Structure 1
Amino acid sequence: MMIKRRVAVVAPVAGFLLGVLDFVWIKYVPYPFAGLGNSLATWAVAAFLLTHRSRWRLPAAVLGAVSCLVLAVPSYYLAATVIQGDAWANLANATAVTWMGFGVVAGLVFGASGVLARTPGRLRLPALAVPAAVLFAEGAIGLRRLGDPAYATGDLLAYAALVVALGLAAILLLARTGRDRLLTLAWSLPLAAGGWVLLTVSGFR
């Protein structure tokens, strides 16, 4: 019961802060770092860390991760409304609802991965690789835009280098031993390929 109460408090607060701070980050931080705000990978990693650093069991963790990401969407648009005068209708328009849908999927996958990554067993190392994999996949998605006149080549390369560096940093910080880090890196590559396919099919270009 105590765990459920903690999830009911922590997840909404985390979601609100994620949405508000994400908008502020995009608005005031220079590129390429600003790109991390407009990033599905960033939100997915946030859901992973929320459950990985907690002591929530799997069902509660998944519910908490989903709640966090879903609530982060209207919080983001609320910040946009308060800070730069965007329309209140944006809090529940088609784009917001679509992002909430992605939040449900990402919460299920990355919330569960956060728990599995701290649970002994065969799934621990693949789960540890999930944050790096989604960052690598997003970097690969960005590199597909090379040659598109709408995007500056230098910006694309800078952002790809940033998310790859963050993915490697995630492996170094999450895995505790040299062996685990090598195996986590090895797992991250096929997972990144799978993530790239899923993101492409989902319409991320």
Structure 2
Amino acid sequence: MTIKRHAAVVAPGAGFLLGFLDYLWIKYLPSPVGDLGNSLATWAVAAFLLTYLHRWRLPAGIASAIVCLVVAVPSYYLAAALIQNDDWSNLYNTTALMWMGFGVVAGVVFGGGGVLARTSGMLRLPALALPAAMLFAEGVVNLRRISDPSYGAGEQGAYASLVFVLGLLITMLVGRTWRDRLLALAWSVPLTAGGWLLLTFASFR
């Protein structure tokens, strides 16, 4: 019961902070660092770390990650409305609902992954690879944009380099041993391919 109550407080609070601070990050930090605020991978990694750093079981972890990401969406638009007078309807319009839907999916995958990554089961190493795989997949998307005249080649290359480095760093942080880290990076290769296909299917290409 205590764990459930703890999750019920932490998850919405984390979601509010994620959305509000994400808007500030985008608005005030320069590219390519500021571009992390527009990153699906950033929110996915946040959901993973939320459940990885807490002692929740799988159902509570998944539910908490979903709540976090869903709350983060209106929180982001709330910040935009307060700071630059954006339309208040953005908090609940079709676009917001679409992002909340993505939040549910990401919460299941990455929230569940965060719980599994600290267990001793056979899914631990693939789960450890999830944050890096998502970051790497987004990096691949940006690298493929370099040849597209609609995008700035230098900006795309810089951002891809940034997320590749972050993918390596997050793996170093969540892996308990060098063996775990190396195996997680190995698992990240097929998972990156799967993530890239999902991003492409969702029109993030």
TM superposition score normalised by structure 2: 0.99
SS of match in other structure, 1:37: helix
Amino acid at match of 1:95: T
Q: Does 1:146 align with 2:146?
A: yes
Structure 1 partner of 2:137 = 137
Quote how far apart the aligned CAs of 1:147 are. 2.1
Q: Deviations over 1:33-76 (max 9, x none)?
A: 01100011000000000000000111001000000000000000
Amino acid at match of 1:62: I
Structure 2 partner of 1:56 = 56
Q: Does 1:33 align with 2:33?
A: yes
Quote how far apart the aligned CAs of 1:149 are. 2.0
Distance (whole Å) between structure 2 residues aligned to residue 106 and residue 131 of structure 1: 11
Structure 2 partner of 1:69 = 69
Distance (whole Å) between structure 1 residues aligned to residue 186 and residue 29 of structure 2: 33
SS of match in other structure, 1:185: helix
Q: Deviations over 1:116-149 (max 9, x none)?
A: 0000021111100000000000001111211222
Q: Which runs of 5+ in 1 are unaligned?
A: none
Structure 1 partner of 2:201 = 201
Amino acid at match of 2:105: V
Matched residue pairs, number?
205
Structure 2 partner of 1:114 = 114
Structure 1 partner of 2:174 = 174
SS of match in other structure, 2:14: helix
SS of match in other structure, 2:38: coil
Quote how far apart the aligned CAs of 1:203 are. 1.4
Distance (whole Å) between structure 2 residues aligned to residue 175 and residue 48 of structure 1: 13
Identity %: 68
Distance (whole Å) between structure 1 residues aligned to residue 7 and residue 176 of structure 2: 27
Q: Which runs of 5+ in 2 are unaligned?
A: none
Distance (whole Å) between structure 1 residues aligned to residue 51 and residue 68 of structure 2: 11
Distance (whole Å) between structure 1 residues aligned to residue 42 and residue 129 of structure 2: 15
TM superposition score normalised by structure 1: 0.99
Amino acid at match of 1:139: G
Runs of 4+ in 1 over 6 A off after TM superposition: none
Amino acid at match of 1:69: L
